[in-house]
Structure formats: C-alpha cells, structure tokens
C-alpha cells in the first residue's frame, strides 16, 4: 500500500513545526474511536514496520499508530523503514519519535508499552552514505507483524519471533486532503537565557549523560532517553536515583527497587539501540558521574531539571572540568490524569494509580477469605476497616482483642503486672492503656516484652473467632484489622495483606491533633513502629488516606471489587 501524499514534494525539515497542541483535536477527528483501544487484543506483543514518508499528515501518522495499537494488548515495537540517507537533522528525527510516543501516550490504555526502535534513525544520521539492514532482536517474542506496505514480509528482520507469526497490512486511508496540514511535530525549545551552556539541537556527541528515577518507565522517560541516544555516537551514561534522593518523592515507598529499575532500563535500551555502550549506575546525589567524568560532553535534561544542569556545570567548573552542553526536552501532557494528579506524564501519577490495585497477587484462595489490614498509627486504617465492613466484610479488630487479652484474670494480665508493676492499673484494677503507652513507646525492650505477652493470646482469640465463623458456614471475606500484623507474623494466616499508609509528617500532625501531645512525643510513637517502606514491601494492596475521604473510598472499592472478581472465578 502506498500512502504517500498527493501533493508537491517539499523537504522534511521545511514543514516540521511546533504545533503539538493541535494533535488532540486532529486525533478526535479520526474515524477510529479511541474507546476501542481499551478492548482486549488477541496478542500481547507486536511490531509495526512503518514505511517512512516525508509527507505524513497528522491524520495519516495518527491513524496508522492508532490502528496498530488496537491490534496489540501490551507491547508494540515501532520500526521506521526507508529513512532518507542524507540532509536530515537530528532534531527532525527526534520530533518524529516524540510524535509517536505522544500519540501512544494520549490514546493507548494506561501502562501500555510502546518502544520506537532507533537503529535506523542513528544509521541515517551517523552513516548516511551506508545503507544497512538492521536485524532486530527484541527482549519480548514478537507475535504479530503489522505493516503499512505489503512489499516485504519483514519476518526475516526479526530474530525473536513466535512460530507461526502472523502478518497484517494496515489498510488505512492516509491520502492528503484539502484541509490537511503537514505532520505536526513538537519542537524542542532551547532555553539559552536560563542555561549557562546550551547546544545546537542537531549536534552529535561521543559521550552523553542523563539522569532520573525511571520508575514505571513511561513515554516521558522514553523521549528523554531517545533524545540522548539520537545525539550519541559512542557511550550513554545513565544515573538512576536511589537512597535519600527518592525519599522526597510522592509515595516513594512504591518506587521500584533501584536494581529493578536498572534492569528494566537495560532491557529498553537493548530493544531500541543495542549498539551503543551504556553505563547505567545508581546515584545518591544530584551529580553522580557528572561530578568526575571528564569525557562527558552533553547532558540531556527535561524542562523541570534544568536548574540541576546549572548546578552540575557549576561544580564541574569548580573542579576544572569542561562544562557540559545542555539540551532540554519538553514534558508531555498526561491524557489519563485523574483528580489530584499532575497534568504531565509522571511516575508519581502512575504510583498514585497503583493505590487500591493488587500490586501482588493473592497467596491463595479460600472460603472464608482472610485479608490482613495493617498500617501505622494515624494511617486511616480504622476508617478503611469501617468501609470494608459496610461493603460486607466481617471485621475482626485485633485492637479489641488486645483489650480482652489485657483483662484481669488472664495469663497475659498476670505477666504484665509482674513486668511493669501495679502502676499501670486504673481504679478498677484493670490495665490502663494510657499509662502503659508512654512506657512501651519510649523503651524498645519494654515494647518487645509486652508483645511477647500479648501477641500469642490475640492470635488465639482471632483464630477462635474465625473457626466459629467457619462453623456457621460463613463464605465471605474476613478482615483481620491489626496494626502489628506484620511484626507479629499474623500475615501467615491471611490470603493477602492490605497496607494503609500516610507520610510520616502527616502521621505526626494527626497524632498531635488527636491525642494533644507534643510533636516530639508523636514522632517517637511513629518511629517506634515498622516503617511505611517495610510494610509496603509485604503488601498486596496499598491504600493512602492523605487525600479527601472520597479518594480513599475509591481505593478501597477498587481493591474490594478485585477480590470479589477473584473469588468468583
């Protein structure tokens, strides 16, 4: 199929312009309904061989990419073929790549993975006089080939393909219409007035560097990486933030471990351009390798990290190193942003969307089905428990069972009086928890001793209640509401664990307001408990109550609906 535009040819660089804001309207005019993209596709992984045409229109390119997205469920590779071998600028190719990622991020379902292969782009830029046929070895097995032309089968270019791989030509009308404009592609504005060193956007360097957290690798990350790769001849250094650098980020406890992020980065890099030398390293400060590596020449940043580029060059200058040229890319809008989320594509928005989702599958299925609900002090766990009760769960409060365990006449009561003394009793000779609290929250040895006395009795009591429900043929969901679920090892009795979490500062604020104690006292209480990150590491579901009550309620409902669907299977 030939989809070249029926008009007088002009040079590619002439018509490429910065009018990305028009793209959403143009996409909405397409014949393809965007809702169709949310339907389950027959294959997980496919590749689109996109025959380059310097006269693409917004309608044309968008229709092709959107049609391909409908054919694949999880991962779409895009390889552009037939690139010109001369007189093409880095910036032109960069904008084409950005345009493809924009179309995908605006219209594919959330978490869909698009990867634009850059080998042919780089060959056209660096070796324009040599026509090379690059075979493609992808990290994921290709199940289907999508084409805009039936001139080639393209299967011969793939080294990792499924036996019996299918092929399909996309029959899309991309002819030029009277009201069409040429391809709308974002222009990467340079900000020379704000940067101490800027660069011509078409320069190519031997050694390039970028940095970031790269959590939940998304289109914004891929555009940053692609901009660096297209401007790189030999080596690309990537600093991946870790340690204290990630703890200032929203919901940082949900950030993937550094080695996991590095592994995913490496997979992406090998998929899009395996021939460069990559140095992917953890960094715990702003500078990373840029502080000492004299070979580095270009730093690629986003609009939001330009000030970091200034600081890096200031340090290099102080150390007698050459300043880095700096190239800045624009951020892109997030078409899936919900209430309280950033308008731009960001990892923090993805992490917020994980709240209420099952980040790990349940350990087993049983009836009744026991969910362990835990969280730190003032985390909103009690409110979540009430919502689950309203949804139909039977809630067992381990805090209530703790009161029963402390009752006079029990073995736990006798041990506590023997250890702490009669000073913890009230006028009725019962344990006064307000007197007990300061003793155990200020002394770890006291807290450990109390736990050894109380936890076995509480476990006996909740197992007794669960067994009584079984005798009554209860087949529903039981929620074991326990602040110390993980510390006590009670998660072993649960099919899954839900963790309520809020930032430490918010927890301290809530405790001060609720209990009328000092900030220092509240801080000691929070710090005496398991950390948010330790709890999240054991979680199947994470719920955060820092926002409005209806946001928390939506997270709870989302997780509850998954459980109901899981039990109904």
Q: Domain boundaries in the chain?
A: 1-186, 188-333, 355-568
Residue 446 has pLDDT above 80, yes or no: yes
Cα separation, 7 vs 4, whole angstroms: 9
Residue 182 has pLDDT above 60, yes or no: no
406 pLDDT more than 80: yes
**Identical topology for domains 188-333 and 355-568:** yes
Average pLDDT over residues 196-207: 78
Q: Which tens digit of pLDDT belongs to each residue from 306-321? A: 889 999 999 999 999 9
Q: Average pLDDT, whole number, for the chain?
A: 84
pLDDT tens-digit map of 511-553: 999 999 999 999 988 988 899 999 999 999 999 999 999 999 9
Average pLDDT of span 176-189: 46
CA gap 416, 426 in Å, rounded: 14
DSSP summary character for residue 71: H
Burial level of 40, CB count in 10 A (0-12/13-18/19+)?
exposed
Mean pLDDT of 364-371: 95
Please tell me the predicted confidence (pLDDT) of residue 273: 96
pLDDT of residue 128: 62
Q: Is the pLDDT of residue 228 over 80?
A: yes
Q: How many CB atoms lie within 10 A of CB 41?
A: 15
At a CB cut-off of 8 Å and minimum separation 6, what does 68 contact?
46, 48, 76, 78, 146, 170
What Cα–Cα distance (Å) separates residue 541 from each residue in 71, 361, 386, 499?
Answer: 31, 9, 17, 6
The CATH homologous superfamily of the domain defined by 355-568: P-loop containing nucleotide triphosphate hydrolases (3.40.50.300)
Nearest alpha carbon to residue 352 among 337, 364, 363, 362 = 337
- Predicted confidence at residue 26, as pLDDT, reads 41
Closest CA to 393 of 565, 558, 560, 544: 560
- pLDDT for residue 208: 98
Report whether pLDDT(562) > 90.
yes
> Which pLDDT tens digit goes with each residue over 143-160?
999 988 766 778 888 999
Q: How high is the pLDDT of residue 515?
A: 92
Residue 123 reports pLDDT greater than 60: yes
pLDDT at res. 149: 72
Reported as a pLDDT band with limits 50, 70 and 90, residue 35 is very low
Q: What is the pLDDT of residue 335?
A: 59
Query: What average pLDDT score do residues 58-77 get?
Result: 87
| pLDDT attached to residue 61 | 82
Contact 536, 502 (CB under 8 A): no
CATH pick for 188-333 out of 3.20.20.70, 1.10.10.10, 3.90.1150.10, 3.40.50.620: 3.40.50.620
Determine the Cα–Cα distance for residues 278 and 366; give it in Å rounded to an integer: 48
| Residue 14 pLDDT greater than 50, yes or no | no
Instruction: Write down the pTM of the prediction.
Output: 0.80
Question: What confidence category does residue 493 fall into, taking pLDDT thresholds of 50, 70 and 90?
Answer: very high
**Residue 515 vs residue 7, higher pLDDT:** 515
Which of 5-14, 335-344, 468-477 tops mean pLDDT? 468-477
Determine the pLDDT at residue 36.
Answer: 36
User: Does the pLDDT value for residue 7 go beyond 90?
Assistant: no
* Low-confidence winner among 43-47, 293-297, 427-431 (lowest mean pLDDT): 427-431
> Looking at residue 75, what is its pLDDT?
95
Given a cut of 90, whether residue 25 has pLDDT beyond it is no
DSSP state, residue 21 = G
Average pLDDT over residues 57-85: 85
Helix residue ranges, H only, 72-127: 90-107, 119-126
Rounded CA-CA distance 430/247 in Å is 43
pLDDT at 2: 32
Residue (of 235, 320, 314, 333) closest to 279 by Cα position? 235
SS3 of 241, please? strand
Look at residue 185 in the predicted model and tell me its pLDDT.
41
**How confident is the model over 461-481, as pLDDT tens digits?**
999 999 999 999 999 999 999
Tens digit of each residue's pLDDT (9 = 90 or more) over 255-300: 999 999 999 999 999 999 999 999 999 999 999 999 999 999 999 9
pLDDT band, residue 4 (cuts 50/70/90): very low
Kind of pairing between the strands at 72-81 and 541-544:
unpaired
pLDDT score for 434: 86
Most confident of 8-17, 186-195, 303-312: 303-312
């Amino acid at each position: 199929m030939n989809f070249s535009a029926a008009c007088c040819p002009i040079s590619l660089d002439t018509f490429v312009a910065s009018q990305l804001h028009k793209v959403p309207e143009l996409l909405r005019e397409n014949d393809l309904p965007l809702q169709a993209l949310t339907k389950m596709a027959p294959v997980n992984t496919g590749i689109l061989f996109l025959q380059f045409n310097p006269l693409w229109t917004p309608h044309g390119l968008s229709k092709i990419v959107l049609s391909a997205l409908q054919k694949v469920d999880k991962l779409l590779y895009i390889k552009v073929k037939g690139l010109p071998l001369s007189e093409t600028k880095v910036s032109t190719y960069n904008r084409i790549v950005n345009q493809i990622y924009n179309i995908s991020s605006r219209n594919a379902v959330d978490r869909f993975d698009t990867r634009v292969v850059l080998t042919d782009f780089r060959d056209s830029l660096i070796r324009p006089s040599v026509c090379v046929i690059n075979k493609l070895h992808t990290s994921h097995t290709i199940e289907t080939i999508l084409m805009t032309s039936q001139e080639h089968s393209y299967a011969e270019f793939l080294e990792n393909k499924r036996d019996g791989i299918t092929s399909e030509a996309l029959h899309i009308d991309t002819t030029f219409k009277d009201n069409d404009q040429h391809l709308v592609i974002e222009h990467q504005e340079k900000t020379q007035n704000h940067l101490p060193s800027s660069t011509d956007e078409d320069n190519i360097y031997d050694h390039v560097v970028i940095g970031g957290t790269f959590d939940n690798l998304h289109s914004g990350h891929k555009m940053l990486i692609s901009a660096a790769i297209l401007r790189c001849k030999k080596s690309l250094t990537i600093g991946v933030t870790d340690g204290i650098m990630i703890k200032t980020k929203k919901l940082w406890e949900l950030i993937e471990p550094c080695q996991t992020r590095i592994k995913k980065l490496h997979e992406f890099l090998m998929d899009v351009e395996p021939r460069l030398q990559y140095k992917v390293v953890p960094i715990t400060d702003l500078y990373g390798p840029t502080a000492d590596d004299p070979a580095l020449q270009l730093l690629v940043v986003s609009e939001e990290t330009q000030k970091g580029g200034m600081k890096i060059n200031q340090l290099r200058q102080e150390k007698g190193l050459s300043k880095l040229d700096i190239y800045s890319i624009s951020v892109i809008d997030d078409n899936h942003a919900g209430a309280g989320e950033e308008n731009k594509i960001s990892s923090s928005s993805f992490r917020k969307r994980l709240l209420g989702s099952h980040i790990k599958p349940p350990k087993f299925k049983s009836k009744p089905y026991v969910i362990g609900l835990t969280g730190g002090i003032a985390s909103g766990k009690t409110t979540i428990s009430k919502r689950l009760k309203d949804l139909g769960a039977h809630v067992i409060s381990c805090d209530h069972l703790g009161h029963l365990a402390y009752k006079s006449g029990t073995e736990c009561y006798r041990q506590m009086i023997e250890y702490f003394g009669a000073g913890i009793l009230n006028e009725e000779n019962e344990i006064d928890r307000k007197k007990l609290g300061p003793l155990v929250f200020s002394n770890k040895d006291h807290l450990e001793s109390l736990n050894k006395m109380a936890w076995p009795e509480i476990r006996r009591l909740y197992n007794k209640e669960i067994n009584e429900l079984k005798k009554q043929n209860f087949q529903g969901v039981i929620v074991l509401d326990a602040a110390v679920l993980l510390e006590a090892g009670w998660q072993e009795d649960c099919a899954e664990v839900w963790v309520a979490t809020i930032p430490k500062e918010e927890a301290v604020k809530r405790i001060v307001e609720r209990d009328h104690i000092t900030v220092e006292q509240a801080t000691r209480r929070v710090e005496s408990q398991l950390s948010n990150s330790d709890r999240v590491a054991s979680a199947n579901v994470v719920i955060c109550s820092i926002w409005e009550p209806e946001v928390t309620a939506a997270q709870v409902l989302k997780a509850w609906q998954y459980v109901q669907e899981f039990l109904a299977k």
